[in-house]
């Protein structure tokens, strides 16, 4: 295929120059190489492409027909090569990221801001979903990067640790509980709980933890947003289970307080994942570098 493409390049140059010697000088090859290339193309197509004149060569009717197609095809290839070069240099392109709302707001936002400022012509797309959903999107090639709880089966992915998370129980500062005492898991299960909906991986993880201790959670309120967990706990509607690392501002403003629990829920890892079977695009690689530099994992 590469040899055939070169034949068409030489054919077009000969047609543009109108002579063999001029084409040879422009392409830095011998006249015999140019003549041989044209001859081979004519033999393969079974037509005569050029007529010899006193001033050089000119296209035959068949040659003019082929020239129109060859010129357009070569122009498209050159445009594609130029666009590819721009993509490598991050002058154009697209970056698709899979992450849930909470991670996007509390973790990715500063990276997204810095990345967009540095590469304003890269179109950034955010696909929202649970860890399971964004990993499925990554597996099927619908996103370039997925930020999710580290998958148990990491064979299809390259997994890079971002940070560890801890689930904690919180309530409003004036909530009817004793913030100075340590509660058992059974006591915690009896509070009016505010939890994420069952599709969330952190909810499933929490339920599995309590089930291992023989306890079943029956929340009063189920929500799809981590922010709503904090908001409803803040106004005293119950005890919410939230991600401690993503609730720092609420703790700092003292609008919620942490309830001490006898047995700590094991931590989980948030990871940046890519597909193992394909190299990330230039745009994705650069965003990964932003994240690594920001988390100290570079």
Q: What is the pLDDT of the chain when averaged over all its residues?
A: 91
The domain boundary, picked from 73, 88, 103, lies at 88
Query: Torsion angle, CA of 6/11/17/22, rounded to 10 degrees?
Result: 60
What's the pLDDT score for residue 74?
A: 84
How far is 21 from 32, CA to CA, in rounded Å? Answer: 9
Are 50 and 99 part of one and the same domain? no
How far is 35 from 10, CA to CA, in rounded Å? Answer: 9
Distance, C-alpha 201 to centroid of its chain: 20
Total H helices, total E strands in the chain = 12, 13
pLDDT in tens, 116-136: 999 998 999 999 998 999 999
Confidence at 183, pLDDT banded by 50, 70, 90: very high
What's the pLDDT score for residue 203?
A: 94
Look at the chain and report how many structural domains it folds into.
3
Are 143 and 199 part of one and the same domain? no
End-to-end CA distance of the chain: 41
What's the pLDDT score for residue 83?
A: 67
What's the pLDDT score for residue 298?
A: 42
Which stretch of DSSP H or E encloses residue 149?
strand 145-149
Q: Could you tell me the CA-to-CA distances from 140 to 99, 124, 184, 276 in Å, in that order?
A: 15, 18, 43, 12
Is the pLDDT score of 145 beyond 90?
Answer: yes
What's the pLDDT score for residue 219?
A: 97
The residue-averaged pLDDT of 35-50 equals: 92
Are 140 and 260 part of one and the same domain? no
Which of 18-22, 169-173, 230-234, 285-289 shows the lowest mean pLDDT across its residues? 18-22
Are 260 and 206 part of one and the same domain? yes
Three-state SS for 55-106 is: CEEEECHHHHHHHHHHHHHHHHHHHHHHHHHHHHCCCCCEEEEEECHHHHHH
Say whether 163 sits in a helix, a strand or coil: strand
The domain boundary, picked from 88, 109, 137, lies at 88
Is the pLDDT score of 167 beyond 80?
Answer: yes
The domain boundary, picked from 56, 88, 120, lies at 88
Are 291 and 149 part of one and the same domain? yes
Q: Which CATH number characterizes residue 69's domain?
A: 1.10.10.10
Instruction: Tell the burial category of 92 from Cβ atoms under 10 Å away from its Cβ (0-12, 13-18, 19+).
Output: middle
Is the pLDDT score of 79 beyond 80?
Answer: no
- Domain of residue 157: give its range: 94-164+269-295
Q: Which CATH number characterizes residue 289's domain?
A: 3.40.190.10
């Amino acid at each position: 295929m590469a040899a055939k493409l070169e034949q068409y390049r030489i054919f077009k140059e000969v047609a543009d120059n109108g002579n063999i010697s001029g084409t040879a000088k422009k392409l830095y090859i011998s006249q015999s190489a140019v003549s041989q290339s044209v001859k081979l193309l004519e033999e393969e197509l079974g037509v005569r492409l050029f007529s010899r004149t006193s001033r050089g060569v000119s296209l035959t009717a068949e040659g003019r027909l082929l020239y129109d197609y060859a010129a357009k095809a070569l122009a498209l290839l050159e445009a594609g090569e130029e666009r590819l070069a721009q993509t490598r240099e991050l002058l154009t392109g697209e970056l698709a990221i899979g992450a849930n709302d909470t991670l996007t707001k509390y973790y990715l936002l500063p990276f997204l801001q810095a990345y967009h400022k540095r590469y304003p012509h890269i179109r950034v797309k955010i696909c929202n979903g649970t860890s399971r959903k964004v990993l499925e999107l990554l597996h099927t090639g619908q996103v370039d990067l997925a930020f999710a709880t580290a998958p148990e089966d990491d064979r299809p992915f390259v997994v890079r640790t971002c940070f560890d998370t801890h689930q904690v129980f919180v309530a409003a500062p004036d909530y009817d509980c004793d913030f100075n005492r340590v509660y058992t898991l059974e006591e915690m299960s009896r509070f009016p709980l505010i939890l994420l909906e069952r599709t969330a991986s952190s909810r499933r993880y929490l339920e599995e933890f309590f089930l291992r201790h023989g306890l079943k959670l029956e929340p009063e309120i189920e929500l799809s947003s981590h922010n709503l967990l904090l908001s409803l706990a803040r106004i005293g509607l119950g005890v919410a289970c939230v991600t401690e690392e993503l609730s720092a501002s609420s703790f700092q403003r003292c609008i919620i307080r942490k309830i001490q629990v006898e047995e700590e829920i094991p931590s989980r890892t948030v990871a940046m994942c890519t597909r193992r079977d394909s190299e990330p695009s230039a745009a994705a690689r650069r965003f990964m570098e932003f994240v690594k530099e920001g988390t100290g994992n570079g």
